[in-house]
Amino acid sequence: METKKTSLYQLHQDCNAKFVEFAGYQMPIQYSEGIVEEHKFTRNHSGIFDVSHMGQLFIYGGKDLIKDLEKIFPLDLKNLKLNHSKYSFLMDKDAGIHDDLIITKINEGFLIILNAACKDNDFKILKELLREKYKMVLDENRSLIAIQGPKSSQILNKVVDGVNDLNFMSGNWFSFENQKVYITRSGYTGEDGFEISIPNDFADKLTRELIDKGSKLIGLGARDTLRLEAGLCLYGHDLDKDKTPVEANLKWAISKERISKGDFIGSDIIIKQLNDGVSKIRVGIKPEGRIIAREKTKIFNQSDVHIGEITSGTFGPSVNGPVAMGYVENEFSKKDTKVFLEVRGKKHPASICSLPFYKKSYVKGVN
Amino acid sequence: MSDVKYSKEHEWIKLDGDVATIGITKHATEMLGDIVFAELPEKGSNVEKDGTAGVVESTKAASDVYTPVSGEVVDTNQAIVDDPSKINQDPENSAWFFKLKIKDPAEMDTLMNKDDYDKFAKETSA
């Protein structure tokens, strides 16, 4: 299959991007300044991310749709206000995670943002679960542009007036060049920021204007170091079908109201795990010194027993040191527990730590 | 700098008497991206030509560092361990990796000169 290109491909080339293939797309891994500078620029100023490879699934429907989606997602969707967003998961019956996602209530139904590598499978699963009762569009005609970092609201507001008024995890329709764009205040970096859903033909123009106002394009490389410092999971690494939301330490995202009823896919396992505990759990891991423990690095306890594995690990430019997360046996998951990481045949000391590694600066409002 | 030789693994080596200083090339740093970790061989250890003699890691991945000649490690550059970004800044000078008391000067003859290396680097990165 030929790799796809996003609407910003030409712009990435103009900005000297190095490309990698990611989920069937040619995506920029970094630009000329490199991952560390791009990372820091996002933390200190404002970075633009082309995330057009992600799925934008529009599902149209009313009250029936809400009821049907509540059978799938562990969310209190009846009480989700118009234009408000929630983080959630698509699970199998054993509560294994097919995908993690952001779902937003829009006027005509819901907008769900899906991971690029999962979107086609998610679409198939959801179509079957919803028995083709509703109009579902996995929209290939829209791009998704994220702008993240402390200067982003100021910059975006100059280009799309009014976005400053959005609260965190909420969105609305705005206008750019007479086009309807849907903008949410959200992101994946631990910074204040926005995600902009815009018709493909206007994505390049919008992005060039944002660059003109002082933001810069940032590649997937820095996106990964930023999200890891923020303690956020990457599907296919920190989350997959062999892990449940409880094991992933994401039970905050499961509605308490829905647990009491327990009538969603995977609820039996979720309830059992919430009551009885889990055998493995996701934790933050801080290696001592500078050693980088990458994905699949084995974790040992102080008696040299294998107790888990790293699922994401890199160098955190803002932390100025290595950062990692992974799954360990529950009894070793307490903060400050000493562990050892096997890197190139040698065991290196590390400790379990709380997430995030880098404190968020999301502004105003929670829903 | 005509006495500097280069390996296919993108190391440079400069011989002064029987002590060689070894580091990685500018071209290597450009391929690796931002270097955030460096591990060096132990002082006093013996390394064999084309064997691993250290590791560098960028934000993206880990790569082995090889020694282009055999010898005993007589010195290592702690400055690049403490601040690996120095490797990106000055790879072919102050950010050297280790010094060897070389075993066999004839091994130097198997390496490339600057022109040949530049050509090699250009061809292999195309």
Average pLDDT over residues B45-62: 94
DSSP H or E segment with residue A335: none
Is A140 inside a domain boundary? yes
Nearest to B59 among A290, A291, A315 (CB): A315
The predicted structure's pLDDT at residue A361: 55
CB A111 within 8 A of CB A103: yes
Within-domain flag for A288: yes
With contacts defined as CB-CB under 8 Å, which chain B residues touch A291? Answer: 37
Domain boundary among A269, A290, A316: A269
CATH number for the domain harbouring residue A283: 2.40.30.110
Residue A83: pLDDT above 60?
Answer: yes
A223 within domain boundaries: yes
Task: Say yes or no: A262 and A147 in one domain.
Answer: yes
**Residue B1: per-residue pLDDT:** 44
CB A332 within 8 A of CB A352: yes
Same domain, A175 and A294: no
Enter the pTM of the model. Answer: 0.93
Residues of B in contact with A292 (CB under 8 A): 36-37, 57, 62
Tell me the C-alpha distance between A272 and A276, whole Å.
6
In a domain, A365, yes or no: no
Average pLDDT score over residue span A155-169: 97
Q: Cβ contacts of residue B121 below 8 Å, gap of 6+?
A: B10, B25, B27
Longest dimension (CA), chain B: 39
Q: Are residue A255 and residue A292 in the same domain, yes or no?
A: no
| Residue spans per domain, chain B | 4-121
Domain that holds residue A196: 1-269
Q: Are residues A121 and A210 in the same domain?
A: yes
pLDDT (0 to 100) of residue A365: 47
Nearest-CA distance A36 → chain B (Å):
7
Q: Check residue A364 and give its pLDDT.
A: 52
Determine which of A292, A310, A323, A343 to mutate to test the interface with B (most B C-beta atoms within 10 Å): A292
pLDDT in tens, A277-303: 999 999 999 999 999 999 999 999 999
Tally the domains of chain A: 2
Q: What is the pLDDT of residues B59-99, one digit of tens each?
A: 888 999 999 999 999 999 999 999 999 999 999 999 999 99
Separation of alpha carbons A224 and B48, rounded Å: 37
**Confidence (pLDDT) at A13:** 98
Residue A268 has pLDDT above 70, yes or no: yes
A35 touches chain B (CB under 8 A): yes
Question: Does the pLDDT at position A213 exceed 80?
Answer: yes
CA distance B50 to B109: 14
| Per-residue model confidence as pLDDT tens digits over B9-21 | 999 999 999 999 9
CB contact under 8 A, B37 and A290: yes
CA distances from A120 to A73, A198, B37 (A): 18, 20, 38
The residue of B30, B31, B32, B34 whose CB has the most chain A CBs within 10 angstroms, and thus the best one to mutate to test that interface, is: B34
The answer, yes or no, to whether residue B106 has pLDDT greater than 70, is: yes
pLDDT band at A363 (very low <50, low <70, confident <90, very high): low
Q: How far apart are CA B24 and CA B13, in angstroms?
A: 9
Backbone torsions φ then ψ of A30, nearest 5 degrees? -165, 165
Give the pLDDT band of residue B124 (cuts 50, 70, 90).
confident
CB–CB contact A36 B34 (8 Å): yes
> Which chain A residues are Cβ-neighbours of B34 within 8 angstroms?
34-37
Residue A97 lies in a domain: yes
For chain A, the average pLDDT equals 96
* Whether A221 and B59 lie within 8 Å, measured CB to CB: yes
- Chain B nearest-CA residue for A228: B59
Q: Is residue A274 part of a domain?
A: no
Cα–Cα distance for residue pair A343/A360, rounded to 1 Å: 30
pLDDT at A362: 56
- A178-187 burial by CB neighbour count: b if 16+ within 10 A, else e? eeebbbbbbb
User: Residue B70 and residue B50: Cα distance in Å, rounded?
Assistant: 8
Count of CB atoms within 10 A of residue A231's CB?
Answer: 20
Name the band, by pLDDT with cuts 50, 70 and 90, for residue A360: low
Written as one letter, the residue type at A214 is G
Residues 321-360 of A with CB under 8 A from B: 322, 344
Question: Could you give the CA distance from residue A39 to residue A304 in angstroms, rounded to a whole number?
Answer: 36
Asked whether residue A363 is assigned to any structural domain, the reply reads no
Structural domain ending residue among the three candidates A249, A269, A289: A269
| pLDDT-derived band at B34, boundaries 50, 70, 90 | very high
Of A221, A322, A344, the CB nearest to B60: A221
A8 and A132 co-located in one domain: yes
Q: Are residues A180 and A301 in the same domain?
A: no
- Residue B3 is predicted with a pLDDT of 83
Query: What residues have CB less than 8 Å from A208, skipping those under 6 apart?
Result: A11
A22 in contact with B at a CB cutoff of 8 Å?
no
Using a pLDDT cut of 70, give the percent of chain B over it: 98
**The pLDDT value given to residue A115:** 98
Q: CA A111, CA A128: separation in Å to the nearest integer? A: 18
ipTM entry: 0.85
The DSSP element (H or E) to which A268 belongs, if any, is: helix A267-276
| Structure-block tokens of residue A116 | 């690029």
- Beta strand B52-58 with B62-66 is antiparallel
**Does pLDDT of A349 surpass 50?**
yes
Residue B60 pLDDT: 85
Check whether residue A173 and residue A310 sit in a common domain: no
Determine which of B52, B56, B60, B86 to mutate to test the interface with A (most A C-beta atoms within 10 Å): B60
Q: Provide the pLDDT for residue A8.
A: 98
Give the tokens for residue A210.
């944002």
Report CB contact under 8 Å: A221, B81.
no
Point out the domain boundary residue: A218, A240, A269.
A269
Residues A245 and A99 grouped into a single domain: yes
Residue of B nearest to A37 (CA): B34
CA–CA separation, B5 and A6 (whole Å): 44
Q: Do B36 and A315 touch (CB under 8 A)?
A: yes
- My answer on whether A33 and A107 are in the same domain is yes
Interface check A32 vs B, CB under 8 A:
no
Longest dimension (CA), chain A: 65
Write down the number of H helices and E strands in chain A.
Answer: 9, 19
Q: Does residue A182 belong to any structural domain of this protein?
A: yes
A319 touches chain B (CB under 8 A): no
Choices 3.30.470.10, 2.170.190.11, 1.10.357.10, 2.40.50.100: CATH for B4-121: 2.40.50.100
Averaged pLDDT for residues A93-104: 98
Any chain B CB within 8 A of the CB of A314?
A: yes
Q: How far, CA to CA in Å, does A117 sit from each of A24, A142, A199, B68, B108?
A: 8, 17, 21, 42, 49
A vs B: CB pairs below 8 A: 39
pLDDT of residue A367: 34
